[in-house]
């Protein structure tokens, strides 16, 4: 179960969306996930049984709590109820620092539909760059990322991020099925 939580956490950092649909002009943005200290995303997380019934729901807050320097590089510190992750935006997208003190690309941005990349435990595909997602906070045009863990636990993940906004929706499927195991939807956010 602990490995599943890690997969869910990693998936939060792998999906991206564009700006809300009520915006008449899109402002170019340089990051898929804004990493300023104080930024936060409130997500409503629902767990489902194999019949599609919700078994539990709770809110989780993901926030940028500060910065830290590792080997001379300054990373943003991201915290949710399961993990502490060091992240940085680079020209190719959002990277995270893992236990081996190496950076791995989590969210390729900008990207094109069909782009494929991987790290030691996950294969990732950019499914689309303009998927409309409706969540409690509103409607967002999103980057849709599909992740597949390659380290033994096969829970397909679909993440949706909005450039300049960040998290919008995360879906984790039951292994080898299209059925949703857990879905997290954006309820509120604060970007500084």
* The pLDDT of residue 148: 87
* The pLDDT of residue 5: 37
Q: Is 100 helix (H, G, I), strand (E, B) or coil?
A: coil
* The pLDDT of residue 29: 63
10-residue mean pLDDT profile of the chain (192 residues): values are 38 36 42 97 96 95 96 94 90 91 94 93 94 98 92 82 97 85 97 94
What are phi and psi for residue 157, nearest 5 degrees?
-125, 140
Sign of CA dihedral 189, 12, 80, 88: negative
* The pLDDT of residue 24: 27
Strand pairing partners for 159?
170
CB-hemisphere CA count at 13 Å for 80?
24
Report the CATH number that the domain containing residue 37 is assigned in CATH. Answer: 2.40.360
Q: What predicted TM-score, i.e. pTM, was given to this entire model?
A: 0.83
CA separation for the pair 106, 147 (Å, rounded)? 10
CA separation for the pair 116, 86 (Å, rounded)? 23
Type and span of the H or E element at 45: strand 40-48
* The pLDDT of residue 169: 98
What's the number of domains the chain is made of? 1
Q: Which domain, by its residues, includes 165?
A: 2-190
Tokens of 138: 């509103």
Q: Which of 103, 71, 110 is nearest to 86 (CA)?
A: 103
* The pLDDT of residue 152: 67
């Amino acid at each position: 179960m602990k490995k599943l939580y890690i997969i869910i956490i990693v998936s939060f950092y792998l999906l991206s969306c564009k700006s809300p649909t009520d915006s008449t002009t899109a402002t170019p943005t340089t990051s898929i996930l804004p990493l300023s200290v104080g930024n936060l995303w409130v997500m409503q997380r629902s767990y489902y049984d194999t019949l599609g019934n919700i078994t539990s729901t709770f809110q989780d807050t993901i926030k940028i709590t500060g910065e830290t320097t590792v080997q001379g590089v300054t990373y943003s510190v991201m915290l949710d109820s399961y993990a502490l992750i060091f992240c940085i935006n680079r020209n190719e997208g959002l990277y995270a620092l893992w236990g081996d003190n190496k950076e791995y690309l989590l969210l390729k941005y900008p990207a094109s539909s069909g782009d494929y990349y991987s790290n030691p435990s996950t294969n990732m595909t950019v499914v689309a760059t303009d998927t409309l997602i409706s969540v409690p906070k509103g409607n967002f045009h999103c980057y849709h990322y599909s992740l597949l863990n390659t380290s033994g636990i096969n829970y397909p993940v679909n993440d949706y991020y909005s450039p300049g906004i960040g998290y919008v929706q995360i879906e984790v499927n039951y292994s080898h099925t299209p059925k949703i195991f857990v879905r997290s939807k954006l309820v509120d956010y604060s970007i500084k």
